């Protein structure tokens, strides 16, 4: 694996990183299409102020290559209790857990190689730092960022694949002596890196988008919770609570008053964002862009009075919400279902509006054209009395369902544009609160944990329903899912974090993946087995090794 650096760009409000790598480290170099001989960059280049800065910036790149693309959601949303397969797409086996889910799948392979590329780039920064021609203060900051990112990449890999190779020095040559290291050893490195980053980074980064201390602490809390797994008792619960408390009590952060304000595209920098993956509307810096707006839709453009437009986005039907998920909110008092789902479409096409018996249009452009009212079934009298189209829950299918609105991007310049500019808030404060609540409750400090759980639920309450939204210790044993507190916690995480690329990890770390898929995912329930708590090792990695790399059991 070769460290990748990006060409310098002006730094403004955010840290913008181009997806296209214009220079490669190691034996490669900047090249042009006329095939003139070029000189390779040496390790000394990364010790220069420009080279050191570019290597740090490039260390962020794999974040963009995974989470805000179809791959990131396919590997974290499909095959869970939240989402099942929709009508479109070529990766339905991630949901159905068939034999097609194997080490030859490009999403599996690219996840492995992209994150190891990021690790190698971070290793390049760490190796160059002692001789880097920058101030000690800058060196400390950039080392903190590199260690945070290296830890994040290893964390993603270890909870995806289990035992994995560990590299702490940059690779500039092909390495076939690859061996997998035990999960415990990987966690030791992750925690060591994060503790070092916590000591090195400021409370607030100078540029929005760079890692800072609260981002490290949030991640550390999640690492400790994940290492604890499904244990009923673990010292990791207290360790997690300490780090998450530091973020929860940091005066920099506060929950927004309204849940729906989180997803306003003009409000991406707010008091709830702990760490986000950055995008811009400049095609030179946004690369593939944030594509999550594409995959949660239904074909509204085929409905009466409708045509495809920018505001309603492209109707790719990848991820269909499960019946269990759609029934999870008490909609009489919880605002989140309505705030995160698009359920009404307004006519934008006068040419195909249906007509009454007398030949007059049933509605006009700007009027309601389609509504998902959230009723189990539409009474015949209601349907007859309504001018527009209605869908009852009994009519939902792989192409027809309420649309998750968190990622819709009305700022695109054309109806077919796939590159979006929306930031992806990968760490946000409500998740910090929920993880803190979980750590405290599972550590026996139930009343302390409920404080943070109820903060999230209070924000979600409809006006006048704040008291009704509060939960007590007794409520922790009464959820849709079962009598254990972890079941209520997982339900609440689904209510708050729907579709936010966390669910597969939540279920695997708590040992609930197989159980919940069997209960609520009709496509996955027949095939899922315990070995599916890990993904297969890429076959290309196994073939390129000298034989020490072995495939995960079951694949």
Q: For residue 227, what is the enclosing H or E element?
A: helix 213-228
Q: What is the token pair recorded at 476?
A: 């922790």
pLDDT in tens, 477-497: 877 676 789 999 999 999 999
Coil, strand or helix at 23: strand
pLDDT reading at 15 higher than 60: no
Q: Distance between CA atoms of 491 and 485, rounded to whole angstroms?
A: 10
The reply to whether 373 falls in a domain is yes
Establish if 105 belongs to a structural domain: no
Asked whether the predicted pLDDT for residue 541 surpasses 90, the reply is yes
- C-alpha span between 196 and 538 (Å, rounded): 31
For residue 22, pLDDT beyond 70:
no
Phi and psi at residue 539, to the nearest 5°: -65, -30
Would you say residue 320 lies in a domain? Answer: yes
List the Cα angle 92/102/164 in 5-degree steps.
125
Residue 251 lies in a domain: no
Candidates 498, 534, 454, 519; CA nearest to 112 is 534
Give the mean model confidence (pLDDT) for residues 16-38: 33
Sign of CA dihedral 474, 478, 483, 487: negative
Instruction: Check whether 466 has a pLDDT greater than 60.
Output: yes
Split at pLDDT 50, 70, 90, the class of 8 is very low
Using pLDDT thresholds of 50, 70 and 90, give the confidence band for residue 287.
Answer: confident
Residue 220 domain flag: no
346 confidence band (pLDDT: 50, 70, 90): very high
What value does the mean pLDDT take over residues 35-39?
A: 37
**pLDDT tier for residue 41 given thresholds of 50, 70 and 90:** low
pLDDT at residue number 50: 94
Q: Tell me whether residue 420 is in a domain.
A: no
pLDDT at 480: 67
Mean pLDDT of 57-75: 95
| 299, part of any domain | yes
Domain count, the chain: 1
pLDDT digits (tens, 9 = 90+) for 148-187: 999 999 999 999 999 999 999 998 777 777 899 999 999 9
pLDDT higher than threshold 60 for residue 264 = yes
Contact 516, 497 (CB under 8 A): no
Question: Whole domain around residue 316: which residue ranges?
Answer: 292-404
Q: What is the pLDDT of residue 17?
A: 36
Q: How many angstroms separate the Cα of 65 from the Cα of each of 77, 286, 293, 409?
A: 17, 11, 15, 19
Q: What is the mean pLDDT of residues 235-253?
A: 98
Q: Which of 323, 276, 314 is nearest to 295 (CA)?
A: 314
In angstroms, what is the C-alpha Rg of the chain?
24
Please state, in angstroms and rounded to a whole number, the distance separating the CA atoms of residues 53 and 457: 42
Render pLDDT for 182-224 as a digit per residue (tens, 0 to 9).
999 999 999 999 999 999 999 999 999 999 999 999 999 999 9
Residue 25, pLDDT > 80, answer no
Rounded to whole angstroms, the Cα distance separating 511 from 293 reads 30
Kind plus residue range of the DSSP H or E element containing 371: strand 368-371
Q: Give residue 178's pLDDT.
A: 84
What is the percent of the chain with per-residue pLDDT over 70, rounded to a whole number? 92
Report the distance separating Cα 394 and Cα 414, nearest Å: 34
Does residue 29 sit within a domain? no
Q: Of residues 49 and 34, which shows the higher confidence score?
A: 49
Average pLDDT over residues 443-447: 95
Structure confidence at residue 315 (pLDDT): 87
Adjacent-strand bridge partners of 521: none
C-alpha closest to that of 323 among 163, 502, 522: 522
Q: Is the pLDDT of residue 31 over 60?
A: no
Q: What is the mean pLDDT of the chain?
A: 91
């Amino acid at each position: 694996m070769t460290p990748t650096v990006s060409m310098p760009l002006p730094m403004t409000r955010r840290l913008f990183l181009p997806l296209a790598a214009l220079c490669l480290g190691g034996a490669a170099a900047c090249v042009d299409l006329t095939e003139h001989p070029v000189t390779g960059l040496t390790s000394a280049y990364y010790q220069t102020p420009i080279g050191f800065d570019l290597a740090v910036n490039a260390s962020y790149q794999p974040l963009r290559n995974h989470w805000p693309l179809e791959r990131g959601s396919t590997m974290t949303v499909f095959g869970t209790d939240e989402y099942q397969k929709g009508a479109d797409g070529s990766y339905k086996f991630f949901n159905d857990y068939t034999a097609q889910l194997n080490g030859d799948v490009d999403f599996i392979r690219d996840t492995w190689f992209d994150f190891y590329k990021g690790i190698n780039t971070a290793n390049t920064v760490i190796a160059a730092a002692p001789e880097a021609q920058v101030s000690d203060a800058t060196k400390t900051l950039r080392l903190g960022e590199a260690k945070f990112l290296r830890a994040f990449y290893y964390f993603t890999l270890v909870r995806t694949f289990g035992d994995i190779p560990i590299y702490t020095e940059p690779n500039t040559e092909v390495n076939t002596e690859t061996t997998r290291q035990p999960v415990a050893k990987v966690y030791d490195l992750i925690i060591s890196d994060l503790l070092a980053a916590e000591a090195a980074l400021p409370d607030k980064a100078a540029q929005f988008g760079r890692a800072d201390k609260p981002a490290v602490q949030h991640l550390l809390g999640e690492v400790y919770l994940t290492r604890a797994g499904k244990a009923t008792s673990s010292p990791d619960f207290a360790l997690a609570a300490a780090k998450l408390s530091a973020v929860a009590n940091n005066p920099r952060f506060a929950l927004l008053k309204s849940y729906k304000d989180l997803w306003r595209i003009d409000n991406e920098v707010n008091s709830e964002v702990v760490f986000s993956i950055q995008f811009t509307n400049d095609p030179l810096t946004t690369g593939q862009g944030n594509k999550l707006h594409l995959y949660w839709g239904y074909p509204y453009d085929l409905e009466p009075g409708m045509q495809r437009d920018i505001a309603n986005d492209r109707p790719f039907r990848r991820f269909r919400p499960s019946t269990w998920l759609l029934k999870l909110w008490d909609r009489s008092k919880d605002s989140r279902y309505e705030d995160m789902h698009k359920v009404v479409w307004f006519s934008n096409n006068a040419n195909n509006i249906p007509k009454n018996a007398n030949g007059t249009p049933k509605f006009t452009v700007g009027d309601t054209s389609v509504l998902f009212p959230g009723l189990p079934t539409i009474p015949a009298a209601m349907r007859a009395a309504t001018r527009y189209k209605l869908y009852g829950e009994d009519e939902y299918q792989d192409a027809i369902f309420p649309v998750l609105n968190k990622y819709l991007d009305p700022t695109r310049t054309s109806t077919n544009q796939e590159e979006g500019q929306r930031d992806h808030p990968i760490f946000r404060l409500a998740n910090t609160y929920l993880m803190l609540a979980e750590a405290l409750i599972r550590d026996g400090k139930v009343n302390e944990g409920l404080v943070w759980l109820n903060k999230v639920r209070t924000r979600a309450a409809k006006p006048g329903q704040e008291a009704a939204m509060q939960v007590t210790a007794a409520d922790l044993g009464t959820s849709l899912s079962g009598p254990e507190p972890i079941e209520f916690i997982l339900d609440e995480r689904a209510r708050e974090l729907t579709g936010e690329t966390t669910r597969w990890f939540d279920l695997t770390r708590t040992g609930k993946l197989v159980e919940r898929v069997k209960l609520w995912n009709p496509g996955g329930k027949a095939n899922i087995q315990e070995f599916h708590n890990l993904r297969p090792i890429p076959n290309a990695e196994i073939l390129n090794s000298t034989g020490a790399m072995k495939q995960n059991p079951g694949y």
